[in-house]
Chain A
Amino acid sequence: MRIKKYYIVLIIVSFFSATEYVAAQVKRIITLSSAISETVNALGYGKNILATDVTSVSPEEINRLPKVSRNRSFSVESITAYRPDLILVPEGDFSKENLYQFKSLGIRVVTIRQEFSVQGATKFIRQIANAIGDKARGEQLAQKTESNIKTTLTQLKKSSKSPKVLFIYARGVGTMNVAGKGSSIDEIIKLAGGKNAIQEFSEFKPYTTEALIKSNPDVILMFDFGLSSLGGRAAFLDLPGVSYTNAGKNKKIIEMNGPLLINFSNRLPEAIKALNNRIL
């Protein structure tokens, strides 16, 4: 009985201390996605980050930080060991139990929902700035990003016909998925002046040779680690069916940095420009 009473008290105490943190500025942050880490850093709070997840590899000073995850698994205690006062995590990465555990420890967790669009990018920046408690700088960075995107979009290379781009997410020949409508990839392809080769379905679906030939893309896009997992460019061009597509015939297989392409944060203008340059 004593224990129960004790933990009710602890929950109440932690609840109050959590609300207090909102007012005070956050000192010790853990960021659990590459987009979040990069944004916190761009807001000028890179030095407050104690540890990140494995995907946070850029810029260099973020990459040097300790990593508290492997793939997508986290342990509550490893994160707590850094004694953070704020954890920023993408929505859905923590289970209900994990959220409850952090709450009972009095550690503030803010889950960030990301929308993959220009507006989504600025909203993302503002959300993170609010969580840190520095609205002003968030507003500044959001506006700067927005105007950068506008300038970038006017400077893009244009062509009379937008090329059909097929994105393949590969982790070895056995695991290949293509990006459908509504995915982050779909949006960035559109922003960069291309057209997603897949219009039949949404989200990611397994790759089949027949679907590849049917969609006949002008460009095949992959993450850099994706292409190398298939054995590089030459090996990819040899895969069945690739030579029947325009992309295969013209050897238009391009690889890009994964986080840059799909983060939809302050580096979005850079991503749009880079992809536009490669596909046109």
Chain B
Amino acid sequence: MKRTVIYTCLSVSLLVAICFSLASGAMHIPIKEVINTLTHAMGFSVFGSAGHGINEGVIMMIRLPRTLMGVLVGAALGISGAAIQGIFRNPLAEPSLVGISAGASLMAVLIIAFETLLFSSLSQLLGYYLLAFGAFAGAGITAMLVYNLSKINGQANVSTMLLAGIAINAMAGALTGLVTYLADEQKLRSITFWMMGSLGGATWQNVSCLFPFVLIPVIGLPFLAKGLNLFAIGENQVELIGLNPNRIKILVVVLATMAVGASVAVSGIIGFIGLLIPHLTRLLGGVDHRFVLPVSALMGALVLTLADMVSRLIVQPIELPIGAVTALMGTPIFLYILIKDKKKLVN
């Protein structure tokens, strides 16, 4: 009963947030016109004809893809964070801690810096998608590397995995720093985008590119919820009921990499969502992964949509990097949870 209420509340809030997000921005567009344009695009009309050319363009070409990207990336980061915390049995784990985000952004930064030198033939072949593809490959490579490093007697050991993740993170960070030092001013600008994250580059192209990479994990991960619940008690519990713990680990890592890699590819690194959202969901409705996973996706989408609105509205005419907004919003909440639960965490 309580969970039905939570699902409903979050879904409604998400819808409301999406509407507000579509109606707010540097361009002043009356809400009526927003509704007109949207309904018109869907094939029916409420208040008659659609709006003026440019307003319609801004809603359909700038705001709608951007909002959708926020929803997708938020859902991806939320659910991956929850799943990764699940297999690590560690509430501090998040996609960026296992090295996935760092690997993705390192690859992206390398491509930006050396595109003209090394990747020109590849760039012609893949064109627009080179960066996205590179980031995704970077995420995959680091995830595999971390996973293989953490294997002891064929079993992935969780604490080794965390340590390997931290090491890879540091290395990727250092290499990114080096590249930043060598890059010229123009490249520096696009590198900043990857380091701090932004939804400002959303187009229908990259949103549709992102869609399957988020949809599959969002549908797939909840199927692993039962296994993750047993993980919380201990790995042998998983084996006792006839599930293969290694398979669960691999599946979680693959699906999370898929979602996070694709998200980083289109929006850069957006921190804190993956860490914070699962905590908030557990606070709302307990630790059952059958609940935590889908709700984290919903809540991630909601929070990122709101954060994007803040980043667009607060310092017009420019936009704040969204990574800074999520960190600013997230840190106080996180600290609050930490202080409140300090005793629980120690025990």
Contact = CB atoms under 8 A, between A and B. Distances in A.
A97 B202 contact: yes
Contact of A203 (B184, B204, B206): B184
Interface of A: 2-4, 6-7, 10, 14, 66-70, 72-81, 83, 92-93, 95-98, 100-101, 104-106, 203-204
Contact of B42 (A2, A7, A96): A2
A97 B317 contact: no
21 contacts: A2-B41, A2-B43, A3-B60, A6-B41, A7-B60, A14-B57, A68-B317, A70-B317, A73-B189, A75-B316, A77-B312, A80-B54, A80-B62, A81-B27, A97-B201, A97-B206, A100-B203, A101-B61, A101-B62, A101-B203, A105-B61
Contacts of B62: 76-77, 80, 101, 105
B319 interface: yes
B54 A75 contact: no
A98 B26 contact: no
Contacts of B28: 81
B319 A7 contact: no
Contact of B318 (A74, A81, A100): A74
A77 B27 contact: yes
B131 to A, nearest CB: 9
Contact of B201 (A70, A78, A98, A104): A98
Nearest to B128: A96
Contact of A95 (B63, B201, B204, B312): B201
A77 B184 contact: no
A73 B54 contact: no
A120 B43 CA distance: 52
Contacts of A95: 190, 193, 201
Given A2-B43, A69-B317, A96-B128, A75 B204 contact: no
A179 to B, nearest CB: 13
Interface string B282-322: 00000000000000000000000000000010011111000
Contact of A10 (B27, B60, B128): B60
Contacts of B318: 68-70, 73-75, 78
Contacts of B27: 77, 80-81
Given A3-B41, A75-B319, A203-B184, A81 B26 contact: yes
Contacts of A204: 184
Nearest to A68: B317
B205 interface: yes
B58 interface: yes
A98 B26 CA distance: 16
Given A7-B204, A98-B201, A101-B203, A75 B26 contact: yes
Nearest to B42: A2
Contacts of A14: 57
A216 to B, nearest CB: 27
A105 B57 contact: yes
Interface residues of B, number: 35
B312 A105 contact: no
Contacts of A4: 204
Interface string B165-189: 0000000000000000000101001
Given A10-B56, A77-B62, 10 more contacts: A2-B42, A2-B43, A6-B60, A10-B61, A70-B317, A78-B318, A96-B128, A97-B206, A101-B62, A101-B203
Contacts of B316: 75, 78
Interface string B47-89: 0000001101110111100000000000000000000000000
Nearest to A14: B57
A83 B128 CA distance: 28
Contacts of B317: 66-70, 75, 78-79
A167 to B, nearest CB: 15
Contacts of A97: 200-203, 206
Nearest to A72: B189
B26 A104 contact: no
Contacts of A73: 189, 318-319
A106 B201 contact: no
Nearest to A11: B61
A77 B316 CA distance: 10
Contacts of B312: 75, 77
Interface string B12-45: 0000000000000111100000000000011100
Contacts of B190: 95
A275 to B, nearest CB: 22
Contacts of A106: 53-54, 57
Contact of A105 (B58, B128, B189): B58
Contacts of B63: 77
Contacts of B57: 10, 14, 104-106
A7 B316 CA distance: 28
Given A72-B189, A80-B54, A97-B203, A104 B184 contact: no
Contacts of A3: 41-42, 60
Contacts of B53: 106
User: Shortest 9 CB-CB distances between A and B: which pairs?
Assistant: A97-B201, A78-B317, A78-B26, A77-B26, A105-B57, A104-B61, A92-B186, A81-B27, A75-B319
